[in-house]
Amino acid sequence: MDIAFSSKKLKKQLSEAKVMAKTHGPRRTALLKVIMTQLRAAPNLGIFAPPYSPPRRCHELKGNKKGQLSVDLDHPYRLLFKPINDPVPMRPEGGLDWDQVTAIEIIGVEDTHG
């Protein structure tokens, strides 16, 4: 899958091991490395769609984060991203067509519950 980042700073935080460890600590860094590797290797987002998403629980967000997705990290933190295919693939009955998403933009790492 193609991966873009919302800023150069975020790209550095999620691409360079030393910066990642300093920014996120050892536990979250280990989880981020696995998730980033999985995202890069995936042909599309469909392999992360429920019910295939455990244990990291990839899911679409609601409310003011509608259009974004998150993957669980260490509680309460999540890796946030959004599809950037143009146009964003949608199912005829509504909702994101996960199997057609081949490009995402990483938005950040944050607590989505606060």
Q: What is the CATH number of the domain that holds 106?
A: 3.30.2310.20
Edge to edge, the sheet with strand 59-60 lists 2-5, 103-111, 77-83, 69-72, 59-60
pLDDT at site 113: 77
pLDDT at site 94: 86
CB neighbours of residue 27 within 10 Å: 11
Model pTM score: 0.93
| Share of residues in the chain with pLDDT > 90 (%) | 86
pLDDT tens per residue across span 8-29: 999 999 999 999 999 999 999 9
Supply the DSSP string of 81-113, one letter for each residue.
Answer: EEE--SSPPB-TTSSB-GGG--EEEEEEEEETT
Residue numbers in the chain where pLDDT is lower than 70: 54, 114
* Segments forming the whole domain that contains residue 101: 2-111
**Cα dihedral 14, 56, 98, 63 sign:** negative
- Amino acid residing at 50: P
Number of domains in the chain: 1
pLDDT at site 43: 96
pLDDT at site 91: 94
pLDDT at site 51: 77
